Chain A
Amino acid sequence: MTDAAIPRRRFLQLAGGSVAAAALLAACGDDAASVDTSEFGKGDVGVLNFALTLEHVNVAFYKALAEAGVLAYAPQELSEWFGEDEEEHAAALSKEIKKLGGTPVAAPETSFSFTSEEDAIAQVEELENAIAAGYLGQLLNVKGEAAQSLLVSIHTVEARHAASFAHTQHQSGMPDGAFAKPVSEDEALEVAANFLS
């Protein structure tokens, strides 16, 4: 088993042990060849469940951040707005997964720690950038029109979130320059896995 597969396993283990997750884990095996895009389910449902996993972490992140009380007014306001967006994303993804006959992954157990405003904003930027890049990496992997339109409508919103927090810190909101760069599922999950308990 590769290191890259560890975040997947952890997510699936922490997502409530659904039948599908258990079966996928059993099929995961110990060799690199088993690390493929089917671990969240096959086809469009798999991609949507990958996206939903990221959204679950994001929803939990903003809830924890809102409660932490480490942010000044402006970033706190962003945090509350964006947390609502993430809830809408999770709900829309779950609905589409069910429409396609799949089972939405459950939210994993998460844990967050914020030592200061600077620390919290650095964490949210990293997470939102990874999610935006993760979506970008999957936009063209979905076949269904509705599923693809949904992912497309979310990817730029996640990018807005990341850029907004960077801007509050007088940093560039465009870390990749003129062209956003995609990341693989594993790369996105690796960042999100930092917040698993």
Chain B
Amino acid sequence: MGDGGTKEAGGLSRSEMLRKGALAGGAIVGLGVLGPYASRALALPSTIPPGDLNILNYLLPFEYLEFKLYLRILSERNDYGEKMPLTKEQRALFEELLGHEEEHVSALKKLVTEMGGKPAPRGKYAYAFRELPTAYFLANEIEGYAVGAFNYQIPKLKSKKAAELVAAIAQVDARHTAIMRQESREEPAPFAFDTGVNEQGSVIEIEKFTGPAIYQEQGIE
């Protein structure tokens, strides 16, 4: 997530204010009001060994996570088994996003395979949301962290093909998060710069939504 905002207002920079707001939002839902956001198996490491294959396999689970989230939303049932109906327009939007994530997953897996690697496996994800606004919030946060993670890795990729693919996906995920933020009544581009987020930072951010189990299960300290 970008952190380049320098606008001052009431003694706090715009970035600081937004960060405080985001943390407050995360804290509310993280206190058990809605339960843990997602469960286990987001195979994100805190550090990754060098090499393009490792980078691509580190990024792939973000796309799995996004794909599964949109699939869950499109089921029109929340995690309490209750109906969570979508309007025609909402459904069309989530179908579009789902289609993109499916293509991102396919492209990353294909490239990993072409480069002689084995794509990271899909995890089992379980999101907990009761109402659509929470789903929008989840989507904008996860997509936003993905943008930071992808941007951080672009300069580290040696293969031009891999870097081009990761950059092309990052821009589309950025568009997704902007739209999800608009639906959440949040500023779509909260910072002037989408600064890259390293592996450890991404895992810490995602943990807000997966709960601490992710660390225990993945053995990440």
Q: Which residue of A lies closest to B104 (CB)?
A: A178
Give chain A interface residues in 155-190, CB to chain B under 8 Å.
155-157, 159-164, 167-168, 170, 172-174, 176-182
Contact residues in A for B107 (Cβ distance below 8 Å): 178-179
Give chain B interface residues in 152-189, CB to chain A under 8 Å.
154-155, 160, 163-165, 167-179, 182, 187-189
| CB–CB B168/A180 < 8 A | yes
Name B residues whose Cβ lies closer than 8 Å to a Cβ of A.
Answer: 2, 4-7, 89, 96, 99-100, 103-104, 107, 147, 151, 154-155, 160, 163-165, 167-179, 182, 187-189, 191-196
Would you mind naming 18 contact pairs between A and B with Cβ atoms under 8 Å apart? A81-B187, A81-B189, A85-B192, A88-B5, A92-B193, A149-B155, A149-B196, A156-B147, A157-B192, A159-B175, A161-B189, A164-B178, A164-B179, A167-B178, A168-B182, A174-B172, A179-B107, A182-B164
| CB–CB A160/B192 < 8 A | no
| CB–CB B172/A160 < 8 A | no
Contact residues in A for B179 (Cβ distance below 8 Å): 163-164, 167, 173
| CB–CB A85/B189 < 8 A | yes
- Is A37 in contact with chain B by the CB < 8 A criterion? no
- Our pick among A140, A150, A163 for the contact of B175 (Cβ within 8 Å) is A163
- Is A132 in contact with chain B by the CB < 8 A criterion? yes
Q: Which residue of B lies closest to A153 (CB)?
A: B193
Contact residues in B for A18 (Cβ distance below 8 Å): none
| Number of residues from A at the complex interface, CB < 8 A | 41
Give 18 new A-B contacts, CB below 8 A, not counting A159-B172, A163-B176, A173-B179. Answer: A78-B188, A88-B192, A139-B167, A140-B163, A148-B154, A153-B2, A153-B193, A156-B173, A156-B194, A157-B2, A157-B189, A157-B192, A159-B178, A162-B175, A167-B182, A176-B172, A177-B100, A179-B172
> Given the complex of chains A and B, what is the CA–CA distance between A149 and B196 in angstroms?
8
Contact residues in B for A51 (Cβ distance below 8 Å): none
